[in-house]
Amino acid sequence: MKNRTVVLLALLLGLIMFAGTGCGKRAVEAPADPAVEELTEEERARLEEERLKEEMRRQALEERRLQEERMERERDAVDAEARIQEAMEEITANRIHFAFDSYELTADARSTLQKISEHMKRFDELRLVIEGHTDERGTAEYNLALGERRARAAYEFLVLLGVSSDRLQIISYGEERPLVDESNESAWAKNRRADFKVLD
Amino acid sequence: MIKLRFFIFLSAIFLVVSLLPPGAGAQDSLHIDIFGPGEERINVFIAPPKDLQSEVLFDPELGSRIYDGLQSNLGLLPFLTRVDPGHILGGPGVEGVRGRDIDFRKFNLSRVDLLLTIGLEQHARGPGSVEIRAFEVFDQRMILGRAYDLQDMDQVPLMLRRFCAELMDYLTGSGDFFRSRLAFERKQNGNKDIWSVTPQGTDLTRLTDLRGITLSPAWSPDGSRIAFTLMRDDRHHLGIWDLEKGEEQVFSMPGNTVISPAFSPEGRLALSLDPMGRPDIYWLDGDYGVDETIMEHWAIDVSPSFDASGTKMAFASGRLGNPHIFVHDFDKGRVQRVSYEGRYNTNPSISPEGDFVAFTRQTPDGHRIFVADLETGREKQISFGPGNDEDPAFAPDGYFVAFSSNRSGDYRLYLTTRNGDEPRQIPTGEGNAKAPAWGLERDF
- Residue A36's pLDDT band (cuts 50, 70, 90): low
Contact B303 A169 (CB under 8 A): no
Mean pLDDT lowest for which of A32-41, A107-116, A133-142, B94-103? A32-41
Q: Does the bond joining B386 to the residue before it have cis omega, within 30 degrees of 0? A: yes
Question: Measured between CB atoms, which of A140, A148, A197 is closest to B257?
Answer: A148
Contact B259 A176 (CB under 8 A): no
Whether B236 has its CB under 8 Å from any CB of chain A: the answer is yes
* B contacts of A101 (beta carbons < 8 Å): 322-323, 343-344
Distance between CA atoms of B133 and B141, rounded to whole angstroms? Answer: 10
What pLDDT does A155 receive?
95
- Residue B11's pLDDT band (cuts 50, 70, 90): very low
CA distance B387 to chain A (A): 11
Residues 77-136 of A with CB under 8 A from B: 101, 129
What pLDDT does A26 receive?
45
Mean pLDDT confidence for B257-273: 97
CA distance A112 to chain B (A): 22
- Residue B47's pLDDT band (cuts 50, 70, 90): very high
Long-range contacts of A159-163 (CB under 8 A, 24+ apart): A161/A113, A161/A114, A161/A117, A162/A117, A162/A121, A163/A117, A163/A120, A163/A121
Contact A142 B318 (CB under 8 A): yes
pLDDT of residue A56 exceeding 80, the answer is no
Distance between CA atoms of B354 and A12, rounded to whole angstroms? Answer: 132
Contact A140 B434 (CB under 8 A): yes
Contact A140 B391 (CB under 8 A): yes
* B contacts of A129 (beta carbons < 8 Å): 234
Whether B405 has its CB under 8 Å from any CB of chain A: the answer is no
Neighbours of A78 (CB within 10 A): 10
Tell me the ipTM for this assembly: 0.87
SS3 category, B37: coil
Whether A171 has its CB under 8 Å from any CB of chain B: the answer is yes
Whether B390 has its CB under 8 Å from any CB of chain A: the answer is yes
Mean pLDDT confidence for A66-79: 70
- Percent of chain A having pLDDT more than 90? 46
Mean pLDDT lowest for which of A15-19, B165-169, B224-228? A15-19
What pLDDT does A24 receive?
43
- Taken as a whole, chain A contains a residue count of 200
CATH architecture of the domain covering A94-198: 2-Layer Sandwich (3.30)
Strands B235-242 and B247-251: antiparallel
Q: What is the pTM of this model?
A: 0.82
Please, are residues B219 and B183 in contact by the beta-carbon 8 Å criterion?
yes
Whether B300 has its CB under 8 Å from any CB of chain A: the answer is yes
Residue of B256, B370, B404, B405 to mutate when probing chain A, most A C-beta within 10 A: B256
Residues 133-152 of A with CB under 8 A from B: 137-142, 144-146, 148-149, 151-152
Whether B231 has its CB under 8 Å from any CB of chain A: the answer is yes
Question: Measured between CB atoms, which of B234, B322, B346 is closest to A141?
Answer: B346
Question: Which chain B residue's Cα is nearest to A198?
Answer: B234
Neighbours of B8 (CB within 10 A): 11
Mean pLDDT confidence for B365-383: 96
Residues 186-215 of B with CB under 8 A from A: 192, 213, 215
What pLDDT does A30 receive?
53
What pLDDT does B9 receive?
38
Please, are residues B151 and B126 in contact by the beta-carbon 8 Å criterion?
yes
* Segment B144-173, tens digit of pLDDT: 999 999 988 899 999 999 999 999 999 999
Distance between CA atoms of B188 and B16, rounded to whole angstroms? Answer: 49
pLDDT of residue A137 exceeding 50, the answer is yes
- Residue A75's pLDDT band (cuts 50, 70, 90): low
CA distance B169 to chain A (A): 34
* B contacts of A200 (beta carbons < 8 Å): none
Mean pLDDT confidence for A71-88: 77
* Segment B279-294, tens digit of pLDDT: 999 999 999 999 999 9
Domains, chain B, ranges and CATH? 2-173 (3.40.50.10070), 177-440 (2.120.10.30)
- Residue A66's pLDDT band (cuts 50, 70, 90): confident
pLDDT of residue B111 exceeding 90, the answer is yes
**Listed residue (A176, A137, A153) closest to B343, CA to CA:** A137
Burial track A15-41 (b if 16+ CB lie within 10 A, e otherwise): eeeeeeeeeeeeeeeeeeeeeeeeeee
Mean pLDDT lowest for which of A8-17, A109-118, B34-43? A8-17
* B contacts of A139 (beta carbons < 8 Å): 346-347, 360, 367, 390-391
Strands B80-82 and B42-46: parallel
- More reliable by pLDDT, B260 or B24: B260
Please, are residues A141 and B216 in contact by the beta-carbon 8 Å criterion?
yes
What pLDDT does A13 receive?
55
Distance between CA atoms of B303 and B62, rounded to whole angstroms? Answer: 44
Distance between CA atoms of B392 and B414, rounded to whole angstroms? Answer: 9
Contact A172 B390 (CB under 8 A): no
Question: Which chain B residue's Cα is nearest to A173?
Answer: B231
What pLDDT does A87 receive?
87
Contact A144 B257 (CB under 8 A): yes
What pLDDT does B52 receive?
86
pLDDT of residue A70 exceeding 80, the answer is no
Contact B256 A148 (CB under 8 A): yes
Q: How many CB pairs under 8 A join A and B?
A: 89
* B contacts of A152 (beta carbons < 8 Å): 256, 274, 277-278
CA distance A109 to chain B (A): 20
- Residue A14's pLDDT band (cuts 50, 70, 90): low
* A contacts of B235 (beta carbons < 8 Å): 169, 171
Distance between CA atoms of B327 and B121, rounded to whole angstroms? Answer: 54
**Listed residue (B241, B253, B439, B224) closest to B352, CA to CA:** B439
What pLDDT does A39 receive?
64
Mean pLDDT confidence for B321-328: 95
* B contacts of A99 (beta carbons < 8 Å): none
Q: At what angle do helices A34-93 and A107-122 cross, to 10 degrees?
A: 160
pLDDT of residue A81 exceeding 90, the answer is no
* A contacts of B259 (beta carbons < 8 Å): 141, 144-145, 148
Please, are residues B130 and B143 in contact by the beta-carbon 8 Å criterion?
no
What pLDDT does A34 receive?
60
- Residue A27's pLDDT band (cuts 50, 70, 90): very low
- More reliable by pLDDT, B50 or B437: B437
Please, are residues B293 and B285 in contact by the beta-carbon 8 Å criterion?
no
pLDDT of residue B322 exceeding 60, the answer is yes
Please, are residues B314 and B301 in contact by the beta-carbon 8 Å criterion?
no
Mean pLDDT lowest for which of A65-74, A97-106, B69-78? A65-74
* A contacts of B236 (beta carbons < 8 Å): 171-172
Contact B435 A140 (CB under 8 A): yes
Contact B303 A148 (CB under 8 A): no
* A contacts of B344 (beta carbons < 8 Å): 101, 138
CA distance B249 to chain A (A): 21
- From residue B402, alpha-carbon distances to A192, B182, B439 in Å are 29, 9, 12
What pLDDT does B395 receive?
97
Whether B173 has its CB under 8 Å from any CB of chain A: the answer is no
Question: Measured between CB atoms, which of A129, A140, A197 is closest to B215?
Answer: A140
What pLDDT does B232 receive?
93
pLDDT of residue B13 exceeding 60, the answer is no
* Segment B401-411, tens digit of pLDDT: 999 999 999 99
